[in-house]
Amino acid sequence: MTNATREQYVTPRVNVLEDAEAVTIEADFPGVANGGAEVELRDGHLILKGDRKSNGTSGRYRIHERQSAGFYRAFALGDAIDTEKIDAKMMDGVLTVTLQKVDRLKPKTISIH
C-alpha cells in the first residue's frame, strides 16, 4: 500500500447485499491484480484497500489517463457480524467480502411438540 493519505485514494463503488445469513459487499477495484487487494479488521471497522499499478513501459505516452491508483473504503461493523467468519475473494476486478451474521441474529425455526 502506498504512503498516501486517505484523501488521495479512490473510493470504490460498492453493492451491499443482506440476507438472513450474511452481509455481502461487492467492491469495484478495476485494474487491481488478484494479489493487490487487502481486507483488514481494525477498531470495529472493515477496511478494503488496494493498489492499481501503472503499466511499466519504455515508450513515451501520447495520452496517459490510466494512472496508478490506490483504493480505500471502510465500513463500521457493529455487533451483528461474526468477525471470525469473514470470507474475501477477488475476481475480474471485483472484491467480494462475505460477512456472516452472529448466530443469535439468524432466523431460527422452533419445533412445536
51-90 residues labelled b (16+ CB within 10 A) or e (exposed)? bbeeeeeeeeeeeeeeeebbbbbebebeeebbeeebebeb
Rg (CA), the chain: 18
Contact between 82 and 106 under an 8 Å Cβ cutoff? The reply is no
Report domain extents, the chain: 7-55+67-104
Contact between 24 and 94 under an 8 Å Cβ cutoff? The reply is no
CATH numeric code, 7-55+67-104: 2.60.40.790
Other CB atoms closer than 10 Å to residue 22's CB: what's the count?
18
pTM: 0.79
d(CA 79, CA 95): 23
Model pLDDT, residue 78: 86
Model pLDDT, residue 2: 45
Beta strands in 1-113 (DSSP E): 14-18, 22-28, 37-42, 45-52, 69-76, 81-91, 94-101
What string of pLDDT tens digits covers the 113 residues of the chain?
A: 444 444 578 899 999 999 989 999 999 999 888 888 999 999 999 999 998 877 666 678 788 777 778 999 999 998 889 999 999 999 999 999 999 998 876 677 788 98
Model pLDDT, residue 20: 87
